[in-house]
């Protein structure tokens, strides 16, 4: 065996074993024996925030951003900015009321707010679609990583990740072992931070060359350097999608349930903002260093593996191998944690609405239905990722955000802040936003040749699909104002009154 692959193999195996071990025996860590007053030990905001960070930082964050910055320059920094700022919107507008609603998933919120099974079913469908869209790049990233680390064929990564996730989910259905997810965040941070420090030291030792001066005096370091009106549109659309999409991600919202009250939900979100802010400082450093030391990667179309290749290119020797092992471990942790979170969120919905249904007079038991749901949740995106491996990792994630922003964002914002929302309005808005952004996504995934304004509008649908979904929801709700749910006002009071206020909430 080639010695180049040793650190990668060791890293992947170590992370896999650690994840399986912690999730199998994890319950023992998270519970205390013979210890009284455990009930007062709710999950603290700092721990919960680490767990959210662990689940949220996906392949796109870990691998995608550095590659995008390397190839396209500074305007790609909107991705990390948007992914962080999404939590700011969540903090200000959604976190506390959503927690006070008592909903566990987004379909739960829709049902509680609007009292309609129809809206609930539509939301369930959207959760599955968004979950699959988001799982797709995780599997692609896994394929790329294993290809770069151990020269495996591209289908090995998706296979390994899906098997690990399925074993993980199937063994106990463990959704929120907070400790495991929190550990994953710190692993990912360390895996980027340590190599970054070493690489920066080497860069300083080389006389700190300026990344902007390499490869011709182009517009690499300018936001909106090129592209004119289309570039401006793409940037705005990206901002809309990422700022508003975060609140609609199925695996993020369920973690807020762990907070004991609305106030803790806000605190958690604040800490998440800080943790993500720290993390997202690192990938651009790799992007900039890659501009100096690995300029040919971008030309060869391998920008997504920049983070994995850079330590070896810059350091070499044993240290280089160690650092490579570390970033590979971090990347693998990114796929595993995000994929498990998403697989469980999608499996939960599928087991409730599809596999848990009575088919031909027979009905699967709760656990059986959940496992069947998990299998469907993982296998479908894994197959798609093997068959169409050439869409950029960060771009596919961007599409998932666009769909989330066009559907759940209007539902949550209007559901929380406007009592006039009706079930008919919600269904119409979800349909317009979901179909609009969904068709754009489908088009982009299937054909990648469209150029010009049509291609841009389809590749970045958020800027037109979010406003149209919002407008549809408002207009149809006004037209059907007679069907505002009778409990709307009471529900609003519950959403917006702090828990400290003594109030009859029934």
Q: What is the CA 292 to chain-centroid distance, rounded?
A: 30
Q: Is 25 near another protein (CB under 8 A)?
A: no
> 502 exposed, middle or buried (CB, 10 Å; 0-12, 13-18, 19+)?
exposed
- 3-class DSSP state for residue 221? coil
Query: What are the φ/ψ torsions at residue 126 (nearest 5 degrees)?
Result: -65, -35
The Cα 246–Cα 343 span in angstroms is 17
Q: Which of 161, 59, 136, 130 is nearest to 381 (CA)?
A: 136
The window from 31-39, 147-155, 316-324, 378-386 that contacts another protein (CB under 8 A) reads 31-39
Stretch that binds another protein, among 37-45, 221-229, 275-283, 452-460 (CB under 8 A): 37-45
Nearer to another protein, 63 or 272 (CB): 272
Largest CA distance in the chain: 74
> How far, rounded to the nearest angstrom, does the alpha carbon of residue 313 sit from its chain's CA centroid?
30
Judged by beta carbon, residue 51 or residue 187, the one nearer another protein is 51
DSSP structure class, residue 35: -
Minimal distance in Å, beta carbon 166 to another protein?
15
Q: Out of 260, 277, 455, 467, which residue is the one contacting another protein (CB under 8 A)?
A: 260
Q: In this chain, which stretch among 58-66, 255-263, 282-290, 428-436 interacts with another protein, using CB under 8 A?
A: 255-263
Nearer to another protein, 150 or 374 (CB): 374
Q: Which helix (H) or strand (E) holds 272?
A: helix 262-280
According to the binding rule CB under 8 A, does residue 165 interact with another protein?
A: no
Contact set for another protein, span 169-228 (CB under 8 A): 173-178
Stretch that binds another protein, among 239-247, 333-341, 344-352, 406-414 (CB under 8 A): 344-352
> Which residue lies nearer to another protein by CB, 17 or 38?
38
**By rule CB under 8 A, what string of x and - marks binding of each residue 466-485 to another protein?**
--------------------
- How many Cα atoms sit within 13 Å of 10 on the Cβ side? 12
Identify the residue among 17, 32, 208, 209 touching another protein (CB under 8 A). Answer: 32
CB proximity list for 23: less than 8 A, separation 6 or greater: 168, 171, 172, 174, 177, 180, 340
Angle between helices 423-446 and 106-114 (to 10 degrees): 150
* Cβ contact 157:15 at 8 Å: no
Q: Does 362 bind another protein (CB under 8 A)?
A: no
Of residues 40, 360, 452, 500, which one binds another protein by CB under 8 A? Answer: 40
Q: Which of 112, 122, 305, 394 binds another protein (CB under 8 A)?
A: 112
Is residue 363 a contact residue for another protein (CB under 8 A)? no
Binding piece for another protein, criterion CB under 8 A, among 155-163, 218-226, 312-320, 343-351: 343-351
Does 36 interact with another protein (rule: CB under 8 A)?
yes
Q: Which of 101, 345, 322, 359 is nearest to 199 (CA)?
A: 322
Q: What residues form DSSP beta bridges with 359?
A: 362
For the bound state, the minimum distance from the C-beta of residue 305 to another protein, rounded and expressed in Å, comes to 34
> Which residues bind to another protein, rule: CB under 8 A?
27, 30-43, 101-105, 108, 111-112, 115, 173-178, 257-261, 344, 347-348, 352, 366, 370, 494, 504-506
């Amino acid at each position: 065996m080639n010695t180049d692959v040793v650190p990668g193999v060791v890293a992947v195996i170590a992370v896999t074993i650690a994840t399986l071990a912690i999730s199998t025996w994890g319950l023992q860590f998270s519970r205390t024996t013979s210890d009284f007053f455990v009930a007062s030990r709710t999950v603290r905001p700092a721990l919960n925030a680490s767990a959210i960070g662990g689940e949220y930082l996906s392949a796109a964050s870990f691998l995608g951003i550095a590659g995008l910055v390397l190839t396209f320059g500074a305007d790609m920094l909107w991705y990390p900015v948007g992914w962080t700022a999404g939590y700011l919107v969540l903090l200000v507008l959604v976190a506390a009321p959503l927690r006070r609603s008592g909903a566990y998933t987004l379909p739960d919120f829709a049902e509680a707010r609007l009292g309609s099974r129809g809206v609930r079913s539509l939301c369930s469908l959207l959760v599955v679609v968004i979950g699959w869209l988001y799982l797709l790049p995780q599997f692609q990233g896994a394929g790329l990583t294993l290809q770069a680390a151990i020269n495996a064929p591209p289908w090995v990564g998706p296979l390994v990740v899906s098997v690990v996730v399925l074993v993980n989910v199937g063994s106990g259905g463990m959704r929120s072992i907070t400790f495991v997810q929190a550990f994953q965040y710190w692993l990912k941070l360390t895996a980027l931070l340590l190599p970054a420090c070493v690489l920066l030291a080497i860069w300083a030792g080389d006389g700190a060359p300026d990344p902007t001066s390499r490869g011709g005096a182009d517009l690499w370091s300018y936001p909106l350097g090129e592209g004119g009106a289309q570039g401006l549109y793409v940037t705005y659309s990206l901002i809309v999608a990422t700022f508003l999409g975060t609140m609609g991600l199925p695996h993020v919202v369920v973690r807020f349930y762990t907070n004991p009250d609305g106030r803790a939900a806000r605190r958690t979100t604040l800490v998440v903002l800080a943790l993500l802010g720290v993390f997202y400082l690192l990938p651009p450093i790799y992007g900039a260093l890659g501009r100096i030391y690995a300029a040919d990667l971008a030309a060869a179309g391998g920008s997504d593996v920049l983070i994995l290749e850079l330590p070896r290119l810059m350091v070499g020797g044993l240290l280089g191998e160690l650092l490579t092992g570390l970033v590979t471990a971090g990347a693998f942790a990114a796929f595993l944690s995000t994929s498990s979170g998403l697989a469980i969120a999608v499996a939960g919905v599928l087991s409730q609405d599809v596999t848990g249904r009575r088919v031909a007079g027979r009905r699967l038991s709760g656990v059986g239905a959940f496992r069947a749901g998990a299998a469907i949740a993982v296998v479908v995106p894994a197959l798609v990722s093997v068959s169409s491996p050439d869409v950029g990792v960060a771009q596919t994630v961007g599409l998932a955000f666009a769909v989330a922003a066009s559907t759940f964002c209007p539902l949550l914002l209007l559901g929380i802040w406007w009592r006039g929302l009706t079930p008919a309005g919600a269904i119409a808005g979800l349909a317009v936003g979901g179909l609009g952004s969904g068709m754009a996504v489908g088009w982009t995934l299937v054909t990648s040749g469209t150029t010009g304004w049509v291609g841009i509008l389809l590749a970045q649908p958020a800027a037109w699909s979010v406003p149209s979904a919002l407008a549809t929801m408002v207009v149809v709700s006004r037209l059907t104002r007679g069907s505002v749910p009778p409990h709307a006002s009471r529900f609003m009071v519950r959403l917006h009154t702090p828990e400290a206020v003594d109030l009859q909430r029934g």
